[in-house]
Amino acid sequence: MLNISDNQLHPSAYPDVSASSGKTRLPAWHWTFRRLMAVLIGLFLVFMFLPWTQNVRADGRVSTLRPEQRPQTVHATIAGRIEKWYVSEGQAVRRGDTLVFLSEVKADYFDPELVARVGEQVSAKKGSIESYGQKAEALESQIEAMQRELISKISQTRNKLVQTQLKIESDSLKVTQANIDLQVAQRQFEGSKNLYEKGLEPLTKLEERRLKLQDAKTKLLSAQNQLGSSQNELAIYTTELRLLQNETDNKIAKAQSDRFSTLSDRFDATATVSKLQIERENYQRRQSFYYILAPQDGFIVQALKPGIGEIIKEGEPLLSIQPADYQLAVEMYVKPLDLPLLSVGSKVRFIFDGWPAFFFSGWPGVSLGTFGGQVVAIDRNISSNGKFRLLIAPDPSDHPWPTALLPGGGAKGIALLNDVPVWYELWRVLNGFPPDLYKNLPGAAAKGKEGGK
| pLDDT-based confidence at residue 391 (cuts at 50, 70, 90) | very high
Integer Cα distance of 414 and 58 in angstroms: 7
Residue 208 pLDDT: 80
Determine the number of helices (DSSP H) and then strands (DSSP E) in the chain: 6, 14
Of the candidates 442, 397, 391, 435, the one whose C-alpha atom is nearest the C-alpha of residue 417 is: 435
Residue 26 clears pLDDT 60, i.e. is over it: no
Residue 330 pLDDT: 92
CATH architecture assigned to 72-104+290-322: Beta Barrel (2.40)
Is the fold of 48-69+326-436 the same as that of 72-104+290-322? Answer: no
Residue 420 pLDDT: 62
Q: What is the pLDDT of residues 93-124, one digit of tens each?
A: 999 899 999 988 888 888 888 888 888 888 88
Is residue 416 within 8 Å of residue 55, measured between CB atoms? Answer: yes
**Degrees, nearest 5: CA angle 370-375-377:** 145
Q: What is the pLDDT of residues 200-252, one digit of tens each?
A: 777 777 778 788 878 878 888 888 888 888 888 888 888 888 888 888 888 88
Integer Cα distance of 335 and 434 in angstroms: 12
Q: Which fold has domain 114-280?
A: Helix Hairpins (1.10.287)
Q: Which fold has domain 48-69+326-436?
A: Elongation Factor Tu (Ef-tu); domain 3 (2.40.30)
Integer Cα distance of 174 and 168 in angstroms: 10
Measured CA distances, 285 to 94, 109, 256, 278 (Å): 22, 12, 43, 10
Phi, psi of 440 (to 5 degrees): -80, 100
3-class secondary-structure state, position 453: coil
Burial degree of 127 (CB within 10 A; 0-12, 13-18, 19+)? exposed
Amino acid at 207: E
CB atoms within 10 A of CB 160: 17
Between helices 203-288 and 114-198, what is the axis angle to 10°?
A: 170
Integer Cα distance of 123 and 132 in angstroms: 14
Least confident of 54-58, 88-92, 175-179, 266-270: 54-58
Would the pTM count as exceeding 0.75? no
Is residue 389 within 8 Å of residue 78, measured between CB atoms? Answer: no
Residue 412 pLDDT: 84
Is residue 388 within 8 Å of residue 334, measured between CB atoms? Answer: yes
Residue 179 pLDDT: 85
Residue 39 pLDDT: 80
Average pLDDT of every residue of the chain: 79
What are the domain boundaries of the chain?
48-69+326-436, 72-104+290-322, 114-280
Burial degree of 231 (CB within 10 A; 0-12, 13-18, 19+)? middle
| pLDDT-based confidence at residue 364 (cuts at 50, 70, 90) | low
Residue 331 pLDDT: 92
The pairing of strands 371-378 and 328-334 is: unpaired
Integer Cα distance of 139 and 363 in angstroms: 96
Least confident of 94-108, 151-165, 339-353, 432-446: 432-446
Q: Kindly state the DSSP code that residue 239 receives in the 8-state scheme.
A: H
DSSP output for 276-324:
HHHHHHHHHHHHHTTEEE-SSSEEEEEES---TT-EE-TT-EEEEEEES
Is residue 100 within 8 Å of residue 82, measured between CB atoms? Answer: yes
3-class secondary-structure state, position 15: coil
Residue 442 clears pLDDT 50, i.e. is over it: no
Residue 90 clears pLDDT 80, i.e. is over it: yes
Choose the most confident range, by mean pLDDT, from 200-204, 270-274, 351-355.
270-274
